[in-house]
Structure 1
Amino acid sequence: VREEPINLEQAQEHHRYKYFPETGEERYESFLGVPIIHHKKVLGVIVVQQASNSRRFDEGEEAFLVTVSAQLAGIIAHSEATSAFIGPSLIATKEQDLVFKGVAGSPGVAIGQSIVMFPPADFDSVPERSSSDIDADLKLFDGAIDSVRVDIRRVGERLSSQLRPEEQALFDVYIGMLDDKALAGEVQDKIRAGSCAQTALKHVIKDYASHFEMMSDSYLRERAVDIKDLGRRILSYLQEREVVDQSYPDKTVLVSDELTPTMLGEVPRENLVGLVSIKGSGSSHVAILARAMGIPTVMGLVDVPLTKLDQREMVVDGYNGDILISPSDELKDHYSAVLNEDRELDEDLKSIIDLPCETLDGHRVHAWVNTGLMADVVRSLDHGAEGVGLYRTEVPFMINERFPSEYEQMLYYR
């Protein structure tokens, strides 16, 4: 019950020892059992025994088995998740009401049909190739940059009616990355050194992304996703990929390995009801936009087979960080009731949004917001917040290329 290794020198003396000769089990003296645990659930146990020469397994042997069990846990969980879609498993007896646990990215509940969006291009498929015409490769790269810049501006304009300037500034961040002389300049330098445009771009994007991924701060680590998304979009133009128009159901749940703001803008807002990102956290740009737009979002869904999620009825529970695949009628009725309650609550709150927070016996309570971004402040003001209760002072340092001056920090606080 304690879910920990058991290492016994004389196993037969243990009060839970039991020998079952009908199973063909051999008698043993030494025993080491290590649980295979995934998300606090015991999936199985690895056991090694020694029939003679009674001894306690040493620390190195125990540590090795613990390491193996940790590796097996992820493999078994992924296998269970995959087999849940094709037949009976430990997770579910039928392909209905399959529940997968993630991280809440934006609150709310959505019921719709999933559409999996894959990256526009894959760097792993780019070979190491030299340039046969350096000037042509430089021209091709510059054209790809211009095309992606146009695409991002188009997406930003499509979302402009739903986002405040502070939130829409995230798209300016993308444009700024494209205009960054360092990133584009490094690609051009590699092309001039003899690499073809695709190969040069691959090396620069992977270098930039790896630097961000190694950072200790979670917000900065998430920027690796933005870098890779931009890189893949540039690569798709370098490869002259033919753009295929995607149709979206009336109630679309957009699913991807790593959702990005530009993916979000490609779905008509009236069709988009929920978001699911296999990777990512609540500090990602997508989570910030999702909260601003009021779209229920779940992120960080490890061990879920992405290819099995396309074109499925799905519930997105942004309160608890769960997704439910092929929900039964009973579950759909439950979440439909939650949806209706949310709508009624929103309507009720709109009628009192300008009233002070005061109890029936006259006690005044201040509604303050915890924040680190101007976008959070603006949204909170719209929902009746009266001030800032906790301000994350590190944010102005994280989002600038230099330390803000004392005067700049004073303006932030004011």
Structure 2
Amino acid sequence: MTKMLSTLRSIVQELNGINNLQEALDTIASRVQAAMQTEVCSVYLYDQQSGCYVLKATEGLYKDAVGQVRIAPSEGLVGLVGTREEPINLEDAQSHPRNRYFPETGEERFRSFLGVPIIHHRRVLGVIVVQESQNQRCFDEGEEAFLVTISAQLAGVIAHSEATGAIGGLSITGDQARDVVFSGVAGSPGVAIGTGVVIFPPADLDSVPNKRCEDIDSEIQRFRDAVTSVREDVEQVGERLAPQLRPEEQALFEVYLRMLHDHALPGEVENRIQDGSWAQGALKDVVNQYVRHFEMMGDLYLRERAVDIRDLGRRLLSHLQEGEPETPEFPDNTILVSDELTPAMLGEVPQGQLVGLVSVRGSGNSHVAILARAMGVPTVMGLVDIPVAQLDGREMIVDGYEGQIFASPSMELKTFFESIIEEEQELVRGLEELRDKPCKTLDGHRMPLYVNTGLITDVVRSLNHGAEGIGLYRTEVPFMINERFPSEQEQRAYYREQLEAFAPADVTMRTLDIGGDKALSYFPIVEENPFLGWRGIRVTLDHPEIFLVQIRAMIKASEGLDNLRIMLPMVSNVSEIEEAQHLIYRAWHEVRGEGYKLAMPQVGVMIEIPAAVYQIREIASRVDFISVGSNDLTQYLLAVDRNNPRVASLYHSYHPAVLEALCQVAQDCHDVGKPVSICGELAGDPGGAILLMAMGYDALSMNAANLPKIKSIIRGVDLEMARQLLAEVLTMDSPHVIRSCVELRLRNLGFGRYIRPERSASQFNESVAQGEPTTAATSSRH
């Protein structure tokens, strides 16, 4: 077993450095055959286009059969393994009723069979099979466990390699792929057509995109300059540390210098540049090749040299990037792509040029997704297996409704999505007339609608859409776009702009809420579980110097306007409220002592933690208002990290427990005579707004882009119908059934166009079914 574990580690290390799918599969077949000492190891991959398992690599069967043998899920033992999604271990495969003989493989002489499905995120990618000609040989439990472990480790490698090839326009069979689609999580609704611009962190080799260079001689010179600079750096460090190091430690610098010799690593990089690759991409490929070579070595000392190779590669990359402009060129229709998008990245794109966002990490409820919805930018998150670097400069379509992106789309697909964009624009134009009309139900119930803001551009958009005030101003945004804590004067200017724009309407400002998925580069918070850690009010109470400056800036900004409301985030107990109130009163008295004449602003609490739900009466009796942050409350009630795409499907605002908690909060607040609003994403959901109104919430706050359609819906229903619908869904136990019930009611009322686009990508596929099928590189299980 120890030997098998060592072999497994070696195989995985070898595969991690291979980007070519066929090379990866050939490596799997040969290495597993040798490790298990069996006569045959074959890998079959499921081909979405043909709906069959295709023999893609083998050791032991006839090589001519590779790419030729296709097995339907309903036939053969390979098909049975894939359909059942579990291992099948047979001593005599030929006697099994599902056995099918493929003469072109030469497998008639093999009797023992062990097949294991290769599954990645519930999708069967293929089947790995080992066979033996010995009569009555049954692969033992240890061998079966080894192959299961191998398949689990290889699934991600295969998915990534498959995706890389698909973006390049090739299916797993090597045929031309058309309209390659990758499925993630819908982050912000809408459709965008544009050019991908990959933003990658500095000196990160793995994130370097693949590009062609236009001037080979100039690119080679840039690389040579970088090598010279790194060589000088290494020599200087070696000389400076020489008195403190033993001879064997000094030898490390000699190793670095030897690797930088013209005939070593630099020579191979230059060869790749000569073939047309830009310097960064060539460096990445060569370094990864070296690393893979060293990690496969049996000697521990030599394996550890892979670390030195990586370090050298990062040093070279850093010098190469020094001569580049700080920001890339952004085309008119930019689709920003990154391993993990940040608010700062969004701000780098010139105004009017950002049309879509794609992020490998994060979910539809991450902070960046919320900002994207506020900006009205179509966004797809959680594309776990997509090779980001391949998307740079490539034409793309972002479908923020279905949570999909299309690489290198056909003209037919572009025309289809252009028609959806036109329909969206017509809908927006149709809602413009509602801007100055009151948000009142058919039976006269008044429902104030506020907006969530944070970006300066939100102000104009919110006013144009008829917002009645700000229900949530995210004060952390000015902190996140700076490289240091903003001064009191700087904060005052930010806050004054918001307060003036909406005066005399109320503006609710949430105190600094960092931690979780909102980080400050100059104030890092490193924790294993940041969402249950040091965040929100916990940070600011521990740092009153930060809290007091912010409160003073808010209060001063409200002079002459008196429309400021202060809201405390992430409160879990009464003592936090009392401590914060003490500091707020202190700041207010200090400001008045400086000669400012203003009233004490209202202070409220944001309900985001389940513990606060059960203390509503105690909390509400101590403050002026309550506002529910349904995004975090849902996350904590369901124990689902809303930034984790692996569990994104478990995050559901219509979960019965969430609806029950929201009902309780509204009821308890009214029992003690305090107003309650909600500023989570549920408020901007068509069905959610109806249910929240029925629960008794006094105001809804949402992203500006959602406000017109929510107003249209509320003006088209009556409160009694909403209450009946709420009573009906509270008897249901499935969030999916609840959502379906609510959406059906809205469709029957004529509001189906607000729920999702009338046409989807799946309907496009049906419309072109007579032609060449599309390729799904990352999709649901077949």
Q: TM-score, normalised by structure 1?
A: 0.60
Indicate whether 1:306 and 2:388 are aligned.
yes
Q: 2:422 maps to what in 1?
A: 340
Distance 1:302 1:69 in 2: 18
Q: 2:363 maps to what in 1?
A: 281
Q: Which secondary structure state, in structure 1, belongs to the residue aligned with residue 134 of structure 2?
A: coil
Indicate whether 1:38 and 2:38 are aligned.
no
Distance 1:383 1:70 in 2: 52
Q: Which secondary structure state, in structure 2, belongs to the residue aligned with residue 301 of structure 1?
A: coil
Question: Deviation of residue 348 (structure 1)?
Answer: 2.5
Distance 2:462 2:140 in 1: 57
Q: Which secondary structure state, in structure 2, belongs to the residue aligned with residue 269 of structure 1?
A: coil
- Out of 190, 198, 202, the residue aligned to residue 108 of structure 1 is 190
Distance 2:181 2:427 in 1: 27
Question: Deviation of residue 357 (structure 1)?
Answer: 6.5
Question: Deviation of residue 328 (structure 1)?
Answer: 1.2
- Judging changes above 3 Å, is the alpha-carbon distance between structure 1 residues 131 and 274 closer, same or farther for their aligned structure 2 residues? farther
Structure 1 gap ranges (5+): 134-231, 389-393
Distance 2:468 2:142 in 1: 56
Structure 2 gap ranges (5+): 1-82, 207-225, 242-313, 472-530, 540-569, 581-604, 606-618, 628-675, 677-782
- Out of 152, 158, 170, the residue aligned to residue 76 of structure 1 is 158
Q: 1:149 maps to what in 2?
A: none
Contact 1:80 / 1:91 at 8 angstroms: preserved in 2? no
- Judging changes above 3 Å, is the alpha-carbon distance between structure 1 residues 367 and 98 closer, same or farther for their aligned structure 2 residues? farther
> How many aligned positions are there?
303
- Judging changes above 3 Å, is the alpha-carbon distance between structure 1 residues 6 and 358 closer, same or farther for their aligned structure 2 residues? farther
Contact 2:91 / 2:135 at 8 angstroms: preserved in 1? no
Q: 1:249 maps to what in 2?
A: 331
Return the structure number with greater relative CO, CA threshold 8 A, min gap 6. Answer: 1
Which amino acid in 1 is paired with 2:423? Answer: E
Q: Which secondary structure state, in structure 1, belongs to the residue aligned with residue 348 of structure 2?
A: coil
Question: Deviation of residue 43 (structure 1)?
Answer: 2.8
Q: 2:407 maps to what in 1?
A: 325
Q: Which secondary structure state, in structure 1, belongs to the residue aligned with residue 126 of structure 2?
A: strand
- Judging changes above 3 Å, is the alpha-carbon distance between structure 1 residues 250 and 339 closer, same or farther for their aligned structure 2 residues? same
Distance 1:4 1:29 in 2: 20
Q: 1:62 maps to what in 2?
A: 144
Question: Deviation of residue 333 (structure 1)?
Answer: 1.1
Q: 1:294 maps to what in 2?
A: 376
Q: 1:399 maps to what in 2?
A: 536
Question: Deviation of residue 274 (structure 1)?
Answer: 0.6
- Residues 332-365 of structure 1: CA deviation (Å, up to 9, x unaligned): 1111111111122223334346555657xx6989
- Judging changes above 3 Å, is the alpha-carbon distance between structure 1 residues 270 and 130 closer, same or farther for their aligned structure 2 residues? farther
Q: Which secondary structure state, in structure 2, belongs to the residue aligned with residue 327 of structure 1?
A: coil
Which amino acid in 1 is paired with 2:433? Answer: S
Contact 2:439 / 2:449 at 8 angstroms: preserved in 1? no
Distance 1:100 1:20 in 2: 33
Contact 1:279 / 1:300 at 8 angstroms: preserved in 2? yes
Which amino acid in 2 is paired with 1:246? Answer: P
Question: Deviation of residue 111 (structure 1)?
Answer: 0.7
- Residues 115-148 of structure 1: CA deviation (Å, up to 9, x unaligned): 1222244499999979979xxxxxxxxxxxxxxx
Q: Which secondary structure state, in structure 2, belongs to the residue aligned with residue 320 of structure 1?
A: coil
Which amino acid in 2 is paired with 1:106? Answer: S
Distance 2:155 2:362 in 1: 21
Mean CA deviation greater in 123-132 or 5-14: 123-132
Which amino acid in 1 is paired with 2:145? Answer: A
Contact 2:91 / 2:112 at 8 angstroms: preserved in 1? yes
- Judging changes above 3 Å, is the alpha-carbon distance between structure 1 residues 95 and 308 closer, same or farther for their aligned structure 2 residues? farther
- Judging changes above 3 Å, is the alpha-carbon distance between structure 1 residues 365 and 334 closer, same or farther for their aligned structure 2 residues? farther
- Judging changes above 3 Å, is the alpha-carbon distance between structure 1 residues 69 and 365 closer, same or farther for their aligned structure 2 residues? farther
Contact 2:171 / 2:177 at 8 angstroms: preserved in 1? no
Mean CA deviation greater in 397-406 or 256-265: 397-406
- Judging changes above 3 Å, is the alpha-carbon distance between structure 1 residues 130 and 337 closer, same or farther for their aligned structure 2 residues? farther
Question: Deviation of residue 245 (structure 1)?
Answer: 5.1
Distance 2:364 2:239 in 1: 41
Distance 2:466 2:532 in 1: 23
Distance 1:36 1:93 in 2: 22
Distance 2:172 2:356 in 1: 28
Q: TM-score, normalised by structure 2?
A: 0.34
Contact 2:167 / 2:391 at 8 angstroms: preserved in 1? no
Distance 1:317 1:288 in 2: 16
- Residues 251-288 of structure 1: CA deviation (Å, up to 9, x unaligned): 11111222211111111121110111222323433222
- Judging changes above 3 Å, is the alpha-carbon distance between structure 1 residues 106 and 385 closer, same or farther for their aligned structure 2 residues? farther
- Residues 314-345 of structure 1: CA deviation (Å, up to 9, x unaligned): 11111111111111111111111111111222
- Residues 20-45 of structure 1: CA deviation (Å, up to 9, x unaligned): 45532243443211112234443321
- Out of 269, 284, 288, the residue aligned to residue 351 of structure 2 is 269
- Judging changes above 3 Å, is the alpha-carbon distance between structure 1 residues 321 and 22 closer, same or farther for their aligned structure 2 residues? closer
Question: Deviation of residue 113 (structure 1)?
Answer: 1.4
Which amino acid in 1 is paired with 2:538? Answer: E
- Residues 348-400 of structure 1: CA deviation (Å, up to 9, x unaligned): 334346555657xx69898999x9x987xx999978899x9xxxxx9998533
Percent same amino acid among aligned pairs?
A: 55
- Judging changes above 3 Å, is the alpha-carbon distance between structure 1 residues 396 and 60 closer, same or farther for their aligned structure 2 residues? closer
Q: Which secondary structure state, in structure 2, belongs to the residue aligned with residue 265 of structure 1?
A: helix
- Out of 123, 132, 150, the residue aligned to residue 50 of structure 1 is 132
Q: Considering fraction of residues, name the structure with more helix.
A: 2
Indicate whether 1:3 and 2:117 are aligned.
no
Distance 1:87 1:283 in 2: 32
- Judging changes above 3 Å, is the alpha-carbon distance between structure 1 residues 104 and 35 closer, same or farther for their aligned structure 2 residues? same
Contact 2:86 / 2:116 at 8 angstroms: preserved in 1? yes
Contact 2:335 / 2:356 at 8 angstroms: preserved in 1? yes
- Judging changes above 3 Å, is the alpha-carbon distance between structure 1 residues 45 and 396 closer, same or farther for their aligned structure 2 residues? closer
Which amino acid in 1 is paired with 2:536? Answer: I
Which amino acid in 1 is paired with 2:389? Answer: T
Q: Which secondary structure state, in structure 1, belongs to the residue aligned with residue 171 of structure 2?
A: coil
Q: Which secondary structure state, in structure 2, belongs to the residue aligned with residue 331 of structure 1?
A: helix
Distance 1:384 1:65 in 2: 59
Contact 1:19 / 1:27 at 8 angstroms: preserved in 2? no
Q: 2:558 maps to what in 1?
A: none
Q: 2:595 maps to what in 1?
A: none
- Residues 84-108 of structure 1: CA deviation (Å, up to 9, x unaligned): 2445323884354121112222111
Q: Which secondary structure state, in structure 1, belongs to the residue aligned with residue 160 of structure 2?
A: helix
Pairing 1:119-198 to 2, within 5 Å after superposition = 119-122=201-204
- Residues 143-187 of structure 1: CA deviation (Å, up to 9, x unaligned): xxxxxxxxxxxxxxxxxxxxxxxxxxxxxxxxxxxxxxxxxxxxx
Which amino acid in 1 is paired with 2:133? Answer: A
Which amino acid in 1 is paired with 2:392? Answer: D
Distance 1:123 1:14 in 2: 50
Distance 1:7 1:385 in 2: 67
Distance 2:165 2:107 in 1: 30
Mean CA deviation greater in 74-83 or 343-352: 343-352
- Judging changes above 3 Å, is the alpha-carbon distance between structure 1 residues 23 and 41 closer, same or farther for their aligned structure 2 residues? same
Q: Which secondary structure state, in structure 2, belongs to the residue aligned with residue 401 of structure 1?
A: helix
- Judging changes above 3 Å, is the alpha-carbon distance between structure 1 residues 62 and 395 closer, same or farther for their aligned structure 2 residues? closer
